[in-house]
Structure 1
């Protein structure tokens, strides 16, 4: 096993294209989530939205689309990703309602201003003290406003259990290794605290009233379109990078074959690859 101490550092700038393509593919899922939020909040009454940890801004523009009277602020600590968000919003015709704001989390949360909707998509788990972060986010809400936290769901699946090369169950072992990586990543965050991830209870502890939890499914069956196939290649390449040293040699060899553009068993040539995942949105309202 090689040293993997540094592999928990995430280069968000480098990850930009992967994040952007992934979110684009998952747009149908997020549109469903936004429509559900529109049932919890009257669209005409939503004047300001914060997209916390916006990354390249795919969700920022979707929120602008779903809430046509709102100013939407993409909040992130990576300037190149904020620039992607700005360009995307302008291209979609939302340039007059979408703006970007650089902020280190959680230290700059108090500088973001009030909002009627705060969306935190897969961002809270990158903050060491998740309980305190949720309390800080709750304080940004105007009366009647909603905090929507995207955490949990189901592991993403791309391949059958037996793919004809290597030991069956590769993705299960990747999940286990990624789980260990996640534990170490969180352990290395500043001010990290262990927390039972009962999101409903944590939202209530932040002074909010839980207003519903729903999971949204994305199901792109095999054979996938070329754009989805390329995203699968990028996703497996990212796993190959961060899980080096956490996987057995035979699984690494299988990953290398899957990523080999010339291998007939590789991802680019497989008719059995698919994309199946689910994300869970936890909501709570300020009284």
Structure 2
């Protein structure tokens, strides 16, 4: 499993491509861009987790499904006394994590779910949009909970809200384009989940799932990712890459009018394109569910 700080805050690489077939290493720059977009929200979440972590102090932190280590680096800033370890199956992404952090981060290559036992114990485990890449999400939560020291905290960033990046009516095609794109993406996400090894259907009530994993839910909070118009060039480039992936994955599932709208947004030099529009913004929400090992 490789996260990607990934991309389903519904920004995910899902379409109809099985997660096992994704080239996460090739996506590294895109994953870094996305995590950088969320940096303020993640830092706010990490400070909240610091307040929840109790008197014993946090000595070891795991970021499970770390991708290129952007979020692990932010956790290291908020928990400066802790050993922070980025965990991913991709050696290339972990090498980027080491390089980004100047060696501040530890790294551990692990192929999950088979190698949960390799992770060692931790006082805090963060997993951002990674659990849903494992077929049995409930078993994954139980395995992560078992890696916590007594009183340790598991923080799972899942669900939240899909990004919005243009007004409802932005002058191309029929209003409501983004909602229809989300609907096609959700179908692709369900198809991706169904193809995973040991796939198990689950009602995604994360606090209830954490309770069934033997943990005690400790609060849920949602953090805003807000980049207003006019967008800086790096955010535009991220959106352009993300829309390009949507086109590759979902074009056949879209009505011709929506496919034409998507292609107009991908026109690099046109004023209609996402790289140039003055009305483009980026707004999303990241929900973090926490639970403590008794």
Report the TM-score, using the length of structure 2 for normalisation.
0.92
Match of 1:41 in 2: 53
Conserved 8 A contact 1:43-1:69? no
Match of 2:5 in 1: none
How far apart in 2 are the matches of 1:140 and 1:100?
A: 16
Conserved 8 A contact 2:62-2:122? yes
Over 3 Å counting, the alpha-carbon distance change for 1:49 and 1:7 in structure 2 is closer
Unaligned 5+ residue runs, structure 1?
A: none
Match of 2:119 in 1: 112
**Aligned partner of 2:267 among 240, 260, 263:** 260
Conserved 8 A contact 1:147-1:283? yes
How far apart in 1 are the matches of 2:259 and 2:88?
A: 33
Helix, strand or coil: the match of 2:27? Answer: helix
Conserved 8 A contact 1:52-1:76? yes
**Pairing 1:163-202 to 2, within 5 Å after superposition:** 163-202=170-209
Match of 2:74 in 1: 62
- Larger CA deviation: 252-261 vs 18-27: 252-261
How far apart in 2 are the matches of 1:78 and 1:228?
A: 25
How far apart in 2 are the matches of 1:218 and 1:275?
A: 8
Match of 1:242 in 2: 249
1:251 CA drift (Å) = 1.4
Q: Extract structure 1 runs of 4+ deviating beyond 6 A.
A: none
Helix, strand or coil: the match of 2:100? Answer: helix
Q: Root-mean-square deviation (CA), in Å?
A: 1.4
How far apart in 2 are the matches of 1:62 and 1:88?
A: 11
1:244 CA drift (Å) = 2.6
How far apart in 1 are the matches of 2:190 and 2:236?
A: 29
**Aligned partner of 1:135 among 132, 137, 142:** 142
Report the TM-score, using the length of structure 1 for normalisation.
0.94
